[in-house]
Each structure stands twice: as C-alpha cells, then as structure tokens.
Amino acid sequence: MERLTERERNVDGTGVAKEEITDGLLKPFADKILTKLAVYEDLEEQGLLVRLPCKVGTEVYYILGIPNKTPCTIDKCVFKLSDIDKIGESLFLTREEAEKKLEEMKNDKA
C-alpha cells in the first residue's frame, strides 16, 4: 500500500508524522491521526502488519486425516491466530473450499 505519511526521526529515534491537516474538523486531531497512521505504515513496511482473512473466533473448516492413508473428515473449529499458516492448506473459511481441497488432495495422491 502506498504511504500517506512521511517520517521524521526525533533525537530519541521515535517517529513523528510530517504531514499536517490545516483545516476542517480534523485539525485538533491531525497530529494524533497522522502519527497513528504513520505507525501502521511503518509496521506494514516492516512486514509486521497482517490482514487476517477473518476474525479470531470465527467458525472455519479443518481437514482432518491424511488422504488415501487414513479416512479424512471435514470438521468445524474456531479460527485462532496460531492457525494463520494453515489457511488454504488444511483450514478453510467455507466448507465448500475445504471439500474442494480435499478432493484435490485425493486426486494428487491417486
């Protein structure tokens, strides 16, 4: 995403947004808004900001078992942050996506 702020570094190394909003209702909050936006942009550039595909606690579908070795089932569970690397492999947002992946896995092993 394109940065909307520029950063200036204070002597202590902390960042400050350089842009200013000079009119309208946002003027009293401009420094806080721009500083917060700059922090998010810094995190994004560092690869520390991720957009989750769903909220933590959302019902998702999990493929259990090993295709063509053990019986596989699709089960409901709730999304946890620790599951993020499983999305699209064994964890899916819809049952249809899980069924499609399970079928692909069975065909690949055949």
Kindly calculate the radius of gyration of the chain based on its CA atoms and give it in whole angstroms.
Answer: 22
**Contact (Cβ atoms closer than 8 angstroms) between residue 65 and residue 72:** yes
State the pTM of this model: 0.60
pLDDT in tens, the chain (110 residues): 666 666 666 555 555 555 544 455 566 677 788 888 888 888 988 999 888 999 999 999 999 987 667 788 899 999 999 999 999 999 999 999 999 998 888 787 65
Q: How is the chain split into domains, by residue range? A: 7-45, 59-109
